Amino acid sequence: MIITICGSTRFKDQILNTARDLTLMGHIVLAPCVFHHAEDTELTTEEKIRLDNLHKEKINMSDAIFVVNVDGYIGESTYGEIDWATRMKKQVFFLVEPPKPEAESEEATPKEADVSEE
Considering the domain boundaries, does residue 33 fall inside one?
yes
pLDDT for residue 27 is more than 80: yes
Calculate the alpha carbon distances from 19 to 31, 86, 95 in Å: 7, 21, 12
The answer to the question of residue 115 being in a domain is: no
Q: Tell me if 118 is assigned to some domain.
A: no
CATH of the domain at 26: 3.40.50.450
pLDDT 10s digits, 6-16: 999 899 999 99
Query: Looking at residue 110, what is its pLDDT?
Result: 46
| Structural domain span for residue 68 | 2-105
Q: Give the whole-angstrom CA distance, residue 5 versus residue 94.
A: 10
Please tell me the predicted confidence (pLDDT) of residue 99: 78
Total domains in the chain come to: 1
Report if residue 18 sits inside a domain: yes
Residue 59 is assigned to a structural domain of this protein: yes
Q: What is the pTM of this model?
A: 0.80
Whether 33 contacts 2, CB under 8 Å: no
**What are the DSSP calls for the chain, one per residue?**
-EEEEES-GGGHHHHHHHHHHHHHTT-EEE-----TTTTT----HHHHHHHHHHHHHHHHH-SEEEE--GGG---HHHHHHHHHHHHTT-EEEESSPPPPPHHHHTS---SS------
pLDDT exceeding 90 applies to what percent of the chain?
Answer: 65
